[in-house]
């Protein structure tokens, strides 16, 4: 790819990264508006999990295997376990959604560890968006769709952790904003390392798989009923339908 067009993709990715960061901050800001925001975010978590899972399995993984048939599987696994380690093993307490376990946050370091874990995750959101646009406009757009659907719950989760840990609302909003900054950093790093887009895409496919199947689906499963399952299915259907509208087929 010529350097001129890489600059174009960088600007598109950065602009979308700013939108994603604003969604993080909005999610952080509605922490105090709990009654309606709970129902609102539950829809985004369910829709986002289906959309994200379909994006990984039908777009990111096949494209990663096409670009790097030998090494992609290892990089996908690596991405999965990087985010598993930093979101779950190391912070000791993290899950999507509203934080309701104040006893876990008597030591505020637990909240900062959770922030660190989410910063690693949003960094790879940025790598995913930028590597998507380096491959094609379609891949970049669908990955951005998968990102934006979970950015509000992401910001809400982070702010809710800070508030539970006894931090000010200002600190809670700053933490949500930091997620947006880390994503922009991921976009810049991937733009600089564009020669390694095949590894970046595979690595971020593993991260996205973790966020979809191991962060969001467990939150979805806390709610019972057919409606929530249908919302997940609607997320999956959106990706297949978008693909059909773009290419006239549903699979690669």
Please give the residues from 144 up to 183 whose contact with Zn ion meets the rule CB under 5 A. 154
Which residue lies nearer to Zn ion by CB, 59 or 68?
Answer: 59
Structural element, H or E, at residue 210? helix 197-210
Q: How many residues contact Zn ion, by CB under 5 A?
A: 4
Using only C-alpha atoms, the chain has a radius of gyration, in whole angstroms, of: 17
Q: Phi then psi for 250, rounded to 5 degrees?
A: -110, -15
N- to C-terminal Cα separation, the chain: 23
For the bound state, the minimum distance from the C-beta of residue 65 to Zn ion, rounded and expressed in Å, comes to 23
Q: For 56-168, where are the alpha helices, taking DSSP H only?
A: 61-67, 72-84, 109-135, 137-164
Q: By C-alpha distance, which of 84, 50, 54 is closest to 206?
A: 84
Which residue lies nearer to Zn ion by CB, 101 or 223?
Answer: 101
Please give the residues from 181 up to 200 whose contact with Zn ion meets the rule CB under 5 A. none
Using CB under 5 A as the criterion, what x/- string covers residues 40-79 for binding Zn ion? ----------------------------------------
Burial 98-133 (b: 16+ CB within 10 A, else e): bbeeeebbeeeebbbbbbebbbbbbbbbbbbbbbbb
Residue nearest to Zn ion (CB): 101
When binding is defined by CB under 5 A, the residue of 34, 38, 66, 101 that contacts Zn ion is 101
Which residue lies nearer to Zn ion by CB, 65 or 128?
Answer: 128
What is the token pair recorded at 191? 């733009």
For the bound state, the minimum distance from the C-beta of residue 102 to Zn ion, rounded and expressed in Å, comes to 9
What is the token pair recorded at 7? 């600059």
Which residue lies nearer to Zn ion by CB, 83 or 135?
Answer: 83
For the bound state, the minimum distance from the C-beta of residue 110 to Zn ion, rounded and expressed in Å, comes to 10
Range in contact with Zn ion (rule: CB under 5 A) among 8-16, 30-38, 42-50, 118-126: 118-126
For the bound state, the minimum distance from the C-beta of residue 69 to Zn ion, rounded and expressed in Å, comes to 28
Angle at 207 between CA 238 and CA 135, to 5 degrees: 65
Range in contact with Zn ion (rule: CB under 5 A) among 8-16, 99-107, 136-144, 241-249: 99-107
For the bound state, the minimum distance from the C-beta of residue 32 to Zn ion, rounded and expressed in Å, comes to 18
For the bound state, the minimum distance from the C-beta of residue 226 to Zn ion, rounded and expressed in Å, comes to 27
Which residue lies nearer to Zn ion by CB, 87 or 99?
Answer: 99
Which residue lies nearer to Zn ion by CB, 25 or 65?
Answer: 25
When binding is defined by CB under 5 A, the residue of 63, 87, 98, 125 that contacts Zn ion is 125
Q: Compute the distance between CA of residue 17 and CA of residue 155 in angstroms, rounded to an integer.
A: 14
Q: Compute the distance between CA of residue 236 and CA of residue 132 in angstroms, rounded to an integer.
A: 19
Q: Phi then psi for 94, rounded to 5 degrees?
A: -155, 135
Residues engaged in binding Zn ion (CB under 5 A): 99, 101, 125, 154
């Amino acid at each position: 790819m010529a350097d001129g067009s890489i600059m174009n993709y960088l600007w598109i990715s950065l602009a979308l990264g700013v939108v994603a960061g604003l969604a993080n901050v909005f999610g952080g800001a509605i922490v105090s508006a709990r009654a309606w925001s709970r129902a609102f975010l539950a829809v985004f978590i369910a829709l986002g999990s289906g959309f994200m899972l379909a994006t990984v399995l039908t777009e990111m993984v096949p494209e990663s295997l096409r670009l790097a048939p030998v090494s992609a599987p290892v990089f996908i696994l690596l991405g999965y376990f990087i985010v598993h380690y930093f979101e779950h093993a190391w912070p000791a307490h993290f899950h999507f959604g509203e934080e309701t376990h104040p006893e876990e946050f008597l030591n505020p370091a637990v909240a900062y560890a959770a922030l660190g874990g989410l910063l690693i995750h949003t960094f790879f959101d940025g790598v995913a968006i930028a590597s998507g646009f380096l491959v094609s406009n379609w891949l970049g757009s669908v990955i951005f769709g998968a990102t934006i659907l979970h950015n509000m719950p992401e910001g809400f989760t982070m702010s809710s952790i800070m508030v539970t840990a006894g931090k000010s609302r200002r600190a809670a909003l700053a933490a949500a904003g930091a997620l947006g900054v880390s994503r922009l950093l991921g976009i810049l790093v991937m733009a600089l390392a564009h020669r390694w887009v095949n590894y970046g895409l595979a690595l971020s496919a593993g991260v996205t798989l973790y966020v979809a199947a191991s962060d969001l689906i467990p939150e979805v499963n806390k709610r019972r009923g057919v409606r929530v399952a249908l919302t997940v299915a609607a997320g999956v259907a959106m990706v297949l339908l978008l693909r059909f509208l773009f290419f006239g087929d549903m699979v690669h």
